Structure 1
Amino acid sequence: MSPTRPRRLLAPTSAAAAVLLAAALGSAPSAHADAGTPVIAEVYGGGGNSGATLRHDFVELGNATGAPVSVDGWSVQYLPASPGPATRVQVTPLAGEIPERGSYLVRQAAGAGGTADLPAPDAAGSVTMSATAGTVLLVSDTDPVECRTTADCAADGAVVDVVGYGGAVVREGAPAPALTNTTSASRDAAFTDTGDNAADFTAGEPSPVNAAGEGVGEEPQEPGPGEPGDLRIHDIQGITRTSPYAGGTASGVPGVVTAVNAFGSARGFWFQDPEGDGDPRTSEGLFVFTGSTTPGVAPGDEVLVSGRVDEYRPASGAQTVTQLDQARWTVLSTGNAVPESVVLEAGTIPAEYAPDHGGDISGLELRPDTYALDFWAAHEHMTVRFEDAPVIAPTDAYQALWVTVEPGHNRTASGGVAYGSYDDPNAGRVKVESLLDRGVRPFPQANVGDTLAGVTEGPVYYSRFGGYLVRASTLGEHVPGDLERTPVRDTARHEVSVATYNVENLGGEDDQAKYDALASGIVDHLGAPDIIGLEEIQDDNGAVDDGTVDAGVTLDRLVAAVRARGGPAYEWRQISPEDKQDGGAPGGNIRNAFLFDPARVQFVDRPGGDATTAVEVVRGPRGAELSVSPGRIEPKDPAWESSRKPLVGHFRALNRDIYVVTNHFNSKGGDEALHGVVQPPNRTSETQRNAQAGLVADFAEELLAVDPQAHLVVMGDLNDFQFSRTLEILTDDGPLYNPMEDLPAGERHNYVFDGNSQALDHILINEALAGRVDYEVVRINSEFHDQVSDHDPQVLWLDTRRSTPPGRP
């Protein structure tokens, strides 16, 4: 066999020459690899796009030295072309080694098109790289880099090599050429590295080569094993989460094929030992990873498999997947009975979720009868089954849903599972994906409250998105439930209705269908509230990163869509942020905004509010007034770094002054996953939310110090639960009250994540109003597969008739 381009020869450039060249170009110091370290040899982001031949994006590494180089514990990381402080880097862990003067292929995400598979990859990730511009980094560990500039990445000692292509901000020297769906950027055959991407890379036809020296269309020709070896599947799996043979090879491992993954970018097959060792700690199943090649086996095939024992970690902090890669196998016989499935039913999975270890649990001996995560790890790759399971999370955009095998535990009124405590993450949740051909058996489009009737069966797998799951080779019948979107009641003449709605990155260039769907929800189901606090309003051109910060087009389009639906002629107020200072997509500039019905509500404008001016409470003729309206709470405080600033507005309705604060607190995105390898998971993001809650509570106390009977509403996407410390700061420690607490436990939710129905959005009021409000979560999104936003809005009705309220109920 021959690779698709010549093997590269050793011809490194001296580090001194590279530094001189960088100085001559006037660039920041580069992080380029020295002559003894690997380099990024080729990058391609057009996989599966229009006109592309290859189905996948990829990154190829190169080793110009005369000895193999280990990349165990290293990673390839990806940044978009213009990263901001809140941009999340995407990490693909590596394992194994790059052969002398050889290559190492990292397969990334697949597109919808293309006709050719990559050669068998040496590592695989799920990163969707830009076809035109972006940055790829080779890093000597798996921690996500914190650098977002060329200089900072050069100063990071873990960064081995950087390639920025197109208009990438982070690069070495000048960027490599801009690419297309049909071109990659690659070094020469000698892997020359001068420290300048523009000088080192040329655009041309993609030519991926793996560590075995195979190019596109070439496959290993080695025969499979002929005799059983010394190891069995349970030996490879071991009694902890990681194999005692990780990084080594196993030869002639016997078993029976139980399922085949013939689709997507992580193809392969599962096989299982029909005898086993009787130890509940050791799994009897294993996955054989074949990359983008569909293996020629079928359930019931008796096989002998040889390959490298790999612990694949799909993301930093995730559990590892024990598997065999670089595999060869021999089919000894066909048509054998597959091992009996493990039945999942009430009581099968332990209620206690994970050991309270205070760190990484990888090395702990598994206790599958005690902890849910240990149960799953001890059954990794084994076939499980359940019957007649309630659907607790709707089908998502990636064709997955969640069910529960504990139908009597923490159920919501809609049929979901309520997340009401850190101590009970609902261990009976099970994520379901399908191994079936979607052209023959489409995946069900299910809502919460539906049922997967009959048998669902398949091997246990693990994903960074949701943790352990069942890859169904038999999928139950979808039986719809009775979940419906129902409108709220009408607003009485003596009431003012106030709503909060996270509209999920609504930008000025979004399709009209999204505006129409949001408008329908506002008019038909929220009852066209008098005041609406909106979160995640993007600027006029959405995520295009060109310095635009205004959102007039976005808000005008939403107002027009509401009017076209028969709603009121809303007016709006907002404050544009400084460019890329409020988090979210770097070019999106998300912010909070108000809509209000001028036929029912007057907005009390006070000029001077801008992105950096802090609103203050002053005493006026009618009581409390705002120094600026709309205004922002302490926008220069570090608590709001790379995060949305609260928007404060003064309204007047039915002769009452109403002060509204709409918020979008720091995302939970930086927290460790419930299913991750660190237990209990660290909730690092809540430190910033707690500081934000403290500033909002301070503002509320200042307002109420001027007018203890003020009509104050603090609402929005607080990104935390009703039982969290963030909410305690606002309510138990602060002057506010959460009417959600008055709802039955099965109704305290407005967001569904990983099968848990939970509350991230809230409407809070000052204590003096507690007996004068009605409150409802409007369930139109989170429990439905055809949602326009992932958040449910909420409506509060404020009774303005009484001036002296009776207090909290």
Structure 2
Amino acid sequence: MTRRPQRHARRNEFTKLSFYLPTAFPVLLLAIALGATATSSTVGTASRPADLVISQIYGGGGEPGSIWTADFVELTNRGDEPVDLRGWSVQYAPPRERAWGVTELSGRIPAGGRYLIAQAGGQNGTTHLPKADITGSLDLGSTSGKVALVHAVEALHCVASCTTVEGVRDFVGYGNADDAEGRPAPALSNTTSIVRRDITVPADQGTSTIEDDPGGPAGVENAKQQDRGVPGIDGSGGVDSGSNAADFVVATPAPPGGQGDKAGRTARIADIQGRSHTSPLAGRLVTSVPGVVTAVGRTGFWMQDPDPDDDPATSDGLFVYTGNAPRVQSGDTVRVAGTVTEYRPGGAAGADNLTTTELIRPTVSVVSSAARRPVPVLIGPGGRMPPTQIRTDAPGDVESTRLFAPTLNALDFYESLEGMLVRLTNPTVVGPTSVDGQLPVLPAGGAGSSRTTHGGLRLTDTDPNTERIVLDDLLTPLPVANVGDQLPGSLDGVLDYGAGDYRVELLSTPAIRAGKTKPETARAPKPDELTVSSIDISGADPNGAGGRLRQLATTVVRGLRAPDVLVVEEMPDDDGADYDTEVGAEKGWAALVEAIRAAGGPRYEVRQIDPVSRRDGSGAENRRIGFLFNPARVSFVDRGAGDATQGTEVETTDGEVALTLSPGRVAPNATAFRDARKSLAGEFRFRGRTVFVVGNDFASGRGDGPLYGRQQPPRQTSEQQRGSQASAVRTFVDALLGADRDAAVVVVGGIADTDGSPTLGLLTDGGTLDDVATKLPAADRYSVVSEGNAFLLDHVLVSPALSGGAEVDVVHAQADFASRWSDRDPLVGYLRLAKGSEASPDDSAPATP
């Protein structure tokens, strides 16, 4: 994952008022007459028009990841007189088109008022727009388009130069629009709108870079003035310099309340948060919201009600999004006015994320300083304990359900504390510090489910470990910690949400007491044991810098003791991310073999099949599965000349079972392996016996919904594909065992599932294959630690002929540690085979040390 980008923008300070106004968004000066009028741009050919401007456009309504169920356009009356809208219209056209859709307007906009025009909607979104002043049916472009405010109701017919057409009073092109005032405004998304600036735009702010995820505590780079040389404009009711690029910034969509809403309503934080996952006041203007500042971030601050209500189901904390470094300090007592909105982190890619309730376009008044911060809520033993289940029912979209039960559902429990100060006491680290600055912990005394060998938490089908809490480094650096380390003392922070998990933004860096966890090594094999392992090399590019590759090689030689057969997952082609027809990996395999040899290992040989370009689910990198084997211990039976699309089959010749292609892909054209790594089968000889090895890298769960996500139970779209892949492999294994029930078959690699999963069941039901890892103690059955949850991703499955003496060792040397080249612990399978009737050149070869 990439580090969160940061916003940086200037502040504008009014010397005669006790509040400050951020430059990132338009600000409604509540209860203050808006008398100042900005210089009008020269749009249209009529005499000076009524002082109306388009102040906000949103085209992602009803789309995946959106909050709002419909598109909308907002108008603002910058003048000091009301405007009658009879005979006016708002019109829209896609880029490079002359067919304009029309929404006729009606009613009046008071001086300083805002006017909401609801447009077409979709099937997604969780929150209906506030009551609109008028409703149209225009389907605004979710990224690009052209919107015109016209003092006429006849449709425009222009493609370009529309700003000069008679009656056009304001015009906004956005994204890749072919027409605009000056340069187009930034592109929209399903989770962002464009909003007209309200305050002075300094002329030296430079050129902006628009990101796709503005609005949250981490924020992104503000949209800055993009046209150099534009003088600063004091547009109290909206800047209109004649350049859409300079006048509009990307923002979290915040429709006005409609009906000329200007005054807003007074509210407390509990009223804003409500007893639900979304605010009952979303889209409304609120005023005089009291709070004590508890934490200050780069793009806003958190505050908490100094006089909270008595309802534990309503949070008393709230994030105020200023867009740049706020001019408040922890301990300030403030009163805030602003627009309530729901911010979904992750943009369009985060459609399954929950939202956080925020105030945007804030007006902040500092009442006093140096107030005592509220007492943090203790989470864990001795304090508030989260329920053991994330959600006890199956509501589907939790943002739409009426049931909100913090005493029953962990999802609701943490929502009831959103934005509040919380405290953890003497927690234990249950996941290593990630490159993104997250650190999963378990509060002292918390039980969790069964613990792992090193003190982590095993994820099971019945226990998602809701006691587990993720610490984040947004406000302060976190220590580099491994599973089993301790963070002594009381840790205070504000409860936030991001990337599918609730997290605590600590206020200060905790101390660390290192545990005794050390990387493991596999046991030495016996001479009559065939050792088979799998390893994911995606974290160590064989064609890149050598440091990670040397670490990988050391793991193979010292950690795994150089297995006889090594299934290599995720080998890329030699040109990496370049999009072309290159699929060969000769240089990568050679680099890997040489690195292992340099680390003191054997000189492995390679067998693999090049994929069809961009058909194996890894884009231009064309990652694939291959075999490394030690020719001093085991031989490979080469048979046929298989390619990427020709699958291997089972054949019997003179009573001997064999593969038609070795190496050969298993059902490569099956739907189960579409855009996924294809399983690879090979025929080996060890001590005179034939051993069939099937290497796998089943579809991962990266695209599944998060545990603490909007959809409950979480969407597990990958499980269906994994099941189909398992079925294809099971059919292949059945063919082998049908031809010879005593065939020695090993299925190894990333099965990507937990104990007792349906995918494993498809491979093991009926005794077809035995999961050797079930012989291990439960505490040892994990190979991945994800956000503090440990589970077994890699498996060694064997046929009945190998089951009796088979063992497996999970080498815990990566997943529990912050310093690592991979996030997966490899497994080593130890397989005992009776010597075959035929002599083998490796019979007398000793096991590799």
AA paired with 1:411? R
Q: 1:451 to 1:614 in 2, by over 3 A?
A: same
- 2:583 corresponds to: 549
Give the distance between the partners of 2:716 and 2:41, measured in 1 at CA: 46
Q: Return the offset for 1:426.
A: 0.7
Q: 1:239 to 1:161 in 2, by over 3 A?
A: closer
Give the distance between the partners of 1:803 and 1:625, measured in 2 at CA: 16
Task: Verify the 8 A CA contact 2:172 2:180 in the aligned structure 1.
Answer: no
Q: Secondary structure at the match of 2:717?
A: coil
Task: Verify the 8 A CA contact 1:510 1:542 in the aligned structure 2.
Answer: no
Task: Verify the 8 A CA contact 2:171 2:181 in the aligned structure 1.
Answer: no
- Equivalent of 2:196, from 199, 211, 220? 211
Give the distance between the partners of 1:674 and 1:240, measured in 2 at CA: 18
**1:705-720, aligned counterparts within 5 Å?**
705-720=738-753
Give the distance between the partners of 2:301 and 2:633, measured in 1 at CA: 63
What per-residue deviation string (whole Å, max 9, x for no partner) do you get for residues 108-156 of structure 1? Answer: xxxxxxxxxxxxxxxxxxxxxxxxxxxxxx997769xxxxxxxxxxxxx
Task: Verify the 8 A CA contact 2:699 2:718 in the aligned structure 1.
Answer: yes
- Equivalent of 1:273, from 299, 305, 313? 305
Q: 1:76 to 1:503 in 2, by over 3 A?
A: farther
Q: 1:200 to 1:513 in 2, by over 3 A?
A: farther
- 1:500 corresponds to: 534
- Equivalent of 2:328, from 297, 306, 326? 297
**1:609-648, aligned counterparts within 5 Å?**
609-621=642-654, 623-648=656-681
2:685 is the counterpart of 1:652: yes
Give the distance between the partners of 2:775 and 2:181, measured in 1 at CA: 64
Q: Secondary structure at the match of 2:457?
A: coil
State which structure, 1 or 2, has the greater radius of gyration over its C-alpha atoms.
2
- 1:729 corresponds to: 762
Q: Return the offset for 1:191.
A: 5.3
AA paired with 1:721? T
Task: Verify the 8 A CA contact 1:75 1:139 in the aligned structure 2.
Answer: yes
Give the distance between the partners of 1:192 and 1:235, measured in 2 at CA: 37
Q: Return the offset for 1:655.
A: 1.2
Q: Secondary structure at the match of 1:355?
A: coil
Q: Secondary structure at the match of 1:497?
A: strand
Task: Verify the 8 A CA contact 1:313 1:320 in the aligned structure 2.
Answer: yes
**1:528-677, aligned counterparts within 5 Å?**
528-584=562-618, 586-621=619-654, 623-677=656-710
What per-residue deviation string (whole Å, max 9, x for no partner) do you get for residues 754-792 of structure 1? Answer: 210011111111123111112101112111111211211
**1:102-121, aligned counterparts within 5 Å?**
none
Q: Return the offset for 1:743.
A: 1.2
Q: 1:228 to 1:303 in 2, by over 3 A?
A: farther
In structure 1, runs of 5+ residues without a counterpart are 12-64, 78-90, 103-137, 144-156, 164-188, 805-809
Equivalent pairs, count: 649
What per-residue deviation string (whole Å, max 9, x for no partner) do you get for residues 530-573 of structure 1? Answer: 10001111111222222211111111111111011111101111
Give the distance between the partners of 2:375 and 2:696, measured in 1 at CA: 52
Task: Verify the 8 A CA contact 2:485 2:512 in the aligned structure 1.
Answer: yes
What per-residue deviation string (whole Å, max 9, x for no partner) do you get for residues 68-96 of structure 1? Answer: 6652753999xxxxxxxxxxxxx687899
Q: 1:7 to 1:509 in 2, by over 3 A?
A: farther
Task: Verify the 8 A CA contact 1:403 1:431 in the aligned structure 2.
Answer: yes
**1:175-190, aligned counterparts within 5 Å?**
none
Task: Verify the 8 A CA contact 2:784 2:790 in the aligned structure 1.
Answer: yes
Task: Verify the 8 A CA contact 1:237 1:244 in the aligned structure 2.
Answer: yes
Return the TM-score normalized by structure 2: 0.71
In structure 2, runs of 5+ residues without a counterpart are 1-11, 13-22, 25-37, 45-51, 78-119, 126-138, 146-169, 188-193, 202-223, 226-231, 238-262, 838-849
Q: Secondary structure at the match of 1:325?
A: strand
Please identify, of 354-363 and 271-280, the stretch whose mean Cα deviation from structure 2 is larger. Answer: 354-363
Give the distance between the partners of 2:341 and 2:545, measured in 1 at CA: 44
**1:323-472, aligned counterparts within 5 Å?**
323-346=358-381, 348-362=385-399, 363-405=401-443, 407-409=446-448, 410-421=450-461, 423-437=462-476, 442-463=477-498, 465-472=499-506
- 1:232 corresponds to: 268
Q: 1:560 to 1:206 in 2, by over 3 A?
A: farther
Task: Verify the 8 A CA contact 2:542 2:592 in the aligned structure 1.
Answer: no
What per-residue deviation string (whole Å, max 9, x for no partner) do you get for residues 333-389 of structure 1? Answer: 111111111101237111122131241122334211221111101111011001110
Q: Percent identity?
A: 36
What per-residue deviation string (whole Å, max 9, x for no partner) do you get for residues 236-282 of structure 1? Answer: 111111111001111110011111113xxxx2111111221101111
AA paired with 2:605? E
Q: 1:203 to 1:708 in 2, by over 3 A?
A: farther
Q: Secondary structure at the match of 2:408?
A: coil
Q: 1:779 to 1:248 in 2, by over 3 A?
A: same
- 1:322 corresponds to: 357
Q: Return the offset for 1:689.
A: 1.2
Give the distance between the partners of 1:7 and 1:594, measured in 2 at CA: 70
What per-residue deviation string (whole Å, max 9, x for no partner) do you get for residues 409-442 of structure 1? Answer: 3211111100121x210110100013445xxxx4
AA paired with 1:71? Y
Task: Verify the 8 A CA contact 1:394 1:445 in the aligned structure 2.
Answer: yes
Task: Verify the 8 A CA contact 2:268 2:290 in the aligned structure 1.
Answer: yes
Q: 1:398 to 1:424 in 2, by over 3 A?
A: same
Q: Secondary structure at the match of 1:699?
A: helix
Give the distance between the partners of 1:562 and 1:478, measured in 2 at CA: 35
Q: 1:772 to 1:426 in 2, by over 3 A?
A: same
Give the distance between the partners of 1:9 and 1:751, measured in 2 at CA: 62
Give the distance between the partners of 2:62 and 2:595, measured in 1 at CA: 46
Q: 1:447 to 1:213 in 2, by over 3 A?
A: same
Q: 1:622 to 1:529 in 2, by over 3 A?
A: farther
Q: Return the offset for 1:612.
A: 0.6
Q: 1:333 to 1:201 in 2, by over 3 A?
A: closer
Q: Return the offset for 1:740.
A: 1.2
- 1:58 corresponds to: none
Task: Verify the 8 A CA contact 1:523 1:566 in the aligned structure 2.
Answer: yes
Q: 1:484 to 1:622 in 2, by over 3 A?
A: farther
Task: Verify the 8 A CA contact 1:544 1:588 in the aligned structure 2.
Answer: yes
Q: Secondary structure at the match of 2:196?
A: coil
> How big is the alpha-carbon RMSD for the aligned residues of Structure 1 and Structure 2?
3.5
Q: Secondary structure at the match of 2:310?
A: coil
